[in-house]
Amino acid sequence: MPDGHDWHWEYDPGAAHVIGGLDDLPSSPGSRSGAEELVRAAAALYLDGTTYQGASSALGREVVTGGMFVFQTVPRHRRVCVLQVTVL
């Protein structure tokens, strides 16, 4: 269970909308590691995300392990919200 100190990722608004028709992203090792790679990058960029005072970041688009991800980073919640995944 998250302890509130670690970064995490989640689907927004939910798995059925983001990857509908595909196997659940967490069960796909390549796609899961892609989302986790985005989380590691966000954690490195926002070292103490809970105190972040800047404007919300723009939507990100990255090709990483497992596909192309469209995502929103929410530093104050230490979350990367995965909005779309295109499996490569």
pLDDT tens sequence across 69-88: 999 999 998 999 999 988 77
* pLDDT for 64: 85
Which residue did the predictor score with more confidence, 29 or 31? Answer: 31
Order across the sheet with 60-64: list the strands: 8-11, 79-86, 67-74, 60-64
Residue type for position 51: T
Instruction: Give 62's pLDDT tier (boundaries 50, 70, 90).
Output: very high
Q: CA quadruple 33, 73, 40, 68: dihedral positive or negative?
A: positive
Average pLDDT, the chain: 81
Question: Which runs of consecutive H residues, i.e. helices, occur in 1-88?
Answer: 15-19, 29-45
Instruction: Give 8's pLDDT tier (boundaries 50, 70, 90).
Output: very high
Tally DSSP H helices, then E strands, for the chain.
2, 4
* pLDDT for 31: 62
